[in-house]
Structure 1
Amino acid sequence: MRAGDLLRQLDRRLLPPLGRGLARLGHGPVRLRMLTGVALLSSAAVLVTAVWAAERRPVGDPTVGEVTRIGVVEGQSIPGYVASTRGELAELLAAPATGPAVRTYALVALAAYLGPDRLAPVLAGAEVTEVFARVPLPQIQTEIVRIPAARLPGDVTEGMLRVAEEKDREVADYRQRSAAVTGSGDRAAGLRRWYDSGAEVASAEATGYRSRCSCLYAAVVRADAATLDRIARRSEVRAVDPAPEVTRLDRAVFSPPLPDQHDVVRPPADSQLPAPATGGVPAQPVQPAQPPPLSATPSASVTAPPTDPASPPEPSAAPSTDPSPSSPAPDAEPSPVDVEESSPMAVP
């Protein structure tokens, strides 16, 4: 019951008999004492009601804003990370069973890039939530995408096609910007090389995803400890990082290592991109600022700040291995997510 409703009920029940009693008392000191008592009683009732309503006020979620990070960070030793995941998995297996097997979220890092048709046997026995993909072009920081995937390989192939469509739009946008550059100076030439390079990379990514390339290198799964141990023993798997502390996927950030990194987590060189020209032309391409919207269908999710098409693109942010968190429904099958534009995400 709300505080206002309680006060209205008190008014309906107390005020009529008090009014009748005061009318019978007439005027005099007795009536004054009665009015004083009624005022004190009313003040006390209001105070008690306010305290009662405050105590019943719902308490918000104290974990709002907290994020759990699973995976690697830049500069971390990859052999050390793999060894630590084995230790964590061994502890999880050694924990005494107190009931039915508890399913735990885990980050599965693959030893090599795989195609969508090869994922199902590698992750057999686990509930798959999402997969990580990247077109492994030599010496190029291609975009990391996260594809919601409850069904293998169907959801993955559909998501890859959505990413390919998005890359086609990026190619068109890059070429349009390149054609719009005017002038003949070094700055104009640098901008045209910049946009042309971005179009070439996006076109290669579109071709790869459309052909169902071997681009998948990690997955977020949920399974009991015994199943996670079986997955970790398969030759295609590099590490299984259990995360029993994760209870909501929208409060977790997963950062798997890339298969082509073996010693320390660091971004690859971008030797194929054009060198900066005079006038401050950046040395890495940016993504289109305002892409056409996609329909809400299962696809990849990537995020980054927009760019201003009216001015030269700003340099990419410092390389990071932490992709932005997505927002799937907690403890449920992934809902369809639109493809979002971003600058090329740095890779480990």
Structure 2
Amino acid sequence: MRARTRIAVLAGLALVVVLAAFVAGNEGGAPTPARTAGSVRLGPDPGQAVAEYRADLARRLPAPGEETLALVQLARPLDTTDAAALAGPSEVVTGVFRVPLPRVQTALRFEPVTGTGDAAGALDVARQRAAFAAGADVSRLTGRPAAVATAEQRALDTPTCACLPAFVVRADRARLEALAVAPGVRAVDAAPVGTQVTDLALAPLLPEQTTAADPLPDDGPVPQA
């Protein structure tokens, strides 16, 4: 009898554990899919036609009233003041900096935008960090790459540098729809609701990529000081 009692007690405990796990797993509804750093791509796939990419963006917008992260991609790069004005009340969380040089490939520099109440000032701090990163590249590179980094650092050190071809915002559907039709905006690519900044892999459509997301030429002269 004692053995049977012990077995019954153990079986009862196992049932309690299973039921507790079932309840815990269903209290919050469907579980949120796990994401790893860089698992949510925003921007066109390599070689993708621009028209094809843009045609698919509207269905990615969040449901009305829900907020998410979105990559705002521009027809021409802006300086930090104009980018902040374009973003308006949307929270800018990442600045995508790139110095446009004719037929010269330059780096995409992704800088977090922190602080509240002054988006232009926060973007400008991010610009300064991008300039510092370019300076670090100068010290470790040689030849043409070092010359390109030098030109980048020089441009990014200028407060009025039009070096923002894209930025990431956190906003609801209504604001993202407004941004999508704002003058100078080519595409607004929204991430799934619940995506964190660390989940993002950003590959913005660049102003020079007019027909497809192909590599840009790199056969032009590097501007000298």
**TM-score w.r.t. length of structure 1:** 0.52
Matched residue type, 1:256? P
Tell me which residue corresponds to 2:208.
260
Q: Distance in 2 between matches of 1:65 and 1:135?
A: 31
- The aligned amino acid for 2:51 is P
1:199 corresponds, among 135, 141, 146, to 146
What stretches of structure 1 move > 6 A for 4+ residues in a row?
A: none
- Which of 112, 131, 150 is residue 148 of structure 1 equivalent to? 112
Q: Is the CA contact 1:126–1:222 (under 8 Å) kept in the aligned structure 2? A: yes
- C-alpha distance in 1 between matches for 2:83 and 2:46: 27
How many Å separate the matches in 2 of 1:107 and 1:88? Answer: 15
Distance verdict in 2 for CA 1:199–1:71, change over 3 Å: closer
* CA–CA distance in structure 1, aligned partners of residues 93 and 178 of structure 2: 18
Residue 326 of structure 1 aligns with which residue?
none
Structure 2 equivalent of residue 53 of structure 1: 17
* Partner residue in 2 for 1:209: 156
Task: State the secondary structure of the residue aligned to 1:263.
Answer: coil
CA 1:169/1:148 → structure 2, altered by over 3 Å: closer, same or farther?
closer
Alignment of 1:115-264 (within 5 A): 115-150=79-114, 151-174=118-141, 195-212=142-159, 213-243=161-191, 245-249=192-196, 250-264=198-212
* Corresponding residue number in structure 1 for 2:44: 72
The residue matched to 1:240 in structure 2 has which SS? strand
Aligned-partner residue type, residue 156 of structure 1: L
- The structure carrying a bigger strand percent of its residues is 2
Q: 1:138 to 1:233 in 2, by over 3 A?
A: same
**Contact 2:71/2:168 (CA < 8 Å) preserved in 1?**
yes
State the Cα distance separating 1:72 from its structure 2 match. Answer: 0.6
Letter in 2 for 1:221: V
Q: Which runs of 5+ in 1 are unaligned?
A: 1-36, 175-194, 274-348
Identity %: 30
Separation (CA, whole Å) in 2 of partners of 1:173 and 1:138: 24
What is the match of residue 82 of structure 1? 54
CA distance in 1, matches of 2:180, 2:17: 53
**Matching residue's letter, 1:168:** G
Residue 110 of structure 1 aligns to a residue in which SS?
A: strand
SS at match of 1:109: strand
More displaced stretch, 118-127 vs 231-240: 231-240
Q: Please report how far the alpha carbon of residue 112 of structure 1 lies from its aligned counterpart in structure 2 after TM superposition.
A: 0.2
Greater Cα radius of gyration, structure 1 or 2:
1
How far apart, in 1, do the equivalents of 2:84 and 2:181 lie?
15
Per-residue displacement from partner, 1:134-162 (whole Å, max 9, x unpaired)? 11222232211212225421222212212
Q: Which has the higher contact order (CA 8 A, sep 6+)?
A: 2
Which letter does structure 2 place at the counterpart of 1:74? Answer: P
For residue 96 of structure 2, give the secondary structure of its aligned residue in structure 1: strand
